[in-house]
Homo-oligomer: A and B are copies of this chain.
Amino acid sequence: MDETDKKILQQLQRNSKLTTKALAADLGLSATAVYERIRRLERNGMILGYVARIDPVKVHLDFRVFCQVKLSQHVQHQIRTFEKEVDQLKEVVSCYHLGGEYDYLLEICVRDMAAYREFMVSKLTLIPQIGSTHSAFVINTVKQTHELPL
């Protein structure tokens, strides 16, 4: 991972449709060199894959909620079960085990408040390991990026 690799990753995490030729011109290298570097970054597992970014507003999935969860008990199999359940809920776009008062922070993405209510009532709170929850609603998204600060 030298500076050239870093520049390639920076560009590709912004726009993966860049051609090797365009990247090569930008970096002052040949297309083959850039091609080989990208393949190596893929084989290394540095590049996990390529995905399309979809506008949440345009597809009416722009109601976002952060839900903190406290477990009722903290024995290992309870933790595992909870995590497995959460992983299967497609509305949960991320779930972190945190230090602090609450155990987990869940980021939830739904259509609107009615959908969130439905999600809570008929999905999340059905998980028996949950002790208590606290929901915080997103009023405005100031910044949101997948780009790592390389």
A interface with B by C-beta (< 8 Å)? 1, 9, 12-17, 44-56, 58-59, 61, 64, 66, 83, 86-87, 90-100, 104-105, 109-110, 136-150
Q: Which 8 A-B pairs have the closest CB atoms?
A: A12-B52, A90-B149, A97-B140, A95-B142, A95-B143, A48-B53, A100-B136, A97-B139
- Given A92-B143, A93-B145, A141-B96, also A150-B51 (CB < 8 A): no
Number of copies: 2
A selection of 30 A-B contacts at a CB cut-off of 8 Å is: A1-B59, A9-B54, A9-B59, A13-B53, A16-B16, A16-B50, A17-B50, A46-B54, A46-B58, A48-B52, A48-B53, A48-B54, A49-B53, A50-B53, A54-B148, A61-B148, A64-B96, A66-B105, A92-B143, A93-B143, A93-B145, A93-B146, A95-B142, A95-B143, A95-B144, A96-B138, A97-B139, A100-B136, A104-B142, A109-B149
